[in-house]
Amino acid sequence: MKKIFGFGSKGRSPLGSSSNLRRNCVGFGLENASSLNSPRYHIRDKDMGKIHKAASMGNVAKVQHILILGENGVNDKDKKNRTALHFACAYGHPEVVTLLVERKCDIDICDSDSSTALMKAIQCQEEECATILLEHGADPNVMDSSGNTALHYAVYTENTSIAAKLLSHNANIEAKNKVLINQFYFQSI
């Protein structure tokens, strides 16, 4: 499947090494380029609401309590437009993901890099979270600010299991991102 997407073994990939991507849970986007040393999101307490903190910790009871009291809404965003769903997926908390989707959160809401929670789950190798999102109707064809879809991230991380799930949920195998277009352009010069 690598050759289909132009990730051949010749030379270094323009996206960096896949081991760094897997180990650090970063993507190809702008926010992630600055966080190569961070295993997940750069988070500062003062930038997040209570629901974001609870979701990133996997505290289902606290997330539910916050929602019941109305302290935060299910789709409330932090300063980088990330929702509790983004944090639950990035940190691998499927119970929180399930609670949020059952409470009718916007599954395909994008952060400031136009990344969905599905993309974040795949970047961070959180397959259970990605599966929950797909089963609840997440769109696998949303493109982030770099033109990547969830399938691009699955292929790049060499996660054939999640790539197969994405394809079974109608992921567009023909989607092209900016890196592939630029790579093609420079190879043809």
Task: Please state which CATH class domain 3-188 belongs to.
Answer: mainly alpha
Contact call for residues 53 and 23 (beta carbons, < 8 A) = no
Query: Does 61 score more than 50 pLDDT?
Result: yes
- The 10s digit of each residue's pLDDT in 151-188 is 999 998 899 999 999 999 999 999 988 765 444 444 44
Cα distance between residue 101 and residue 106, in whole Å: 8
Cα distance between residue 115 and residue 86, in whole Å: 9
By C-alpha distance, which of 146, 105, 156 is closest to 129?
105
Domain boundaries, the chain: 3-188
- The 10s digit of each residue's pLDDT in 83-116 is 999 999 999 999 999 999 999 999 999 999 999 9
Cα distance between residue 101 and residue 183, in whole Å: 38
H or E segment to which residue 189 belongs: none
Confidence of residue 8 (pLDDT cuts 50, 70, 90): very low
Give the tokens for residue 158. 């060499």
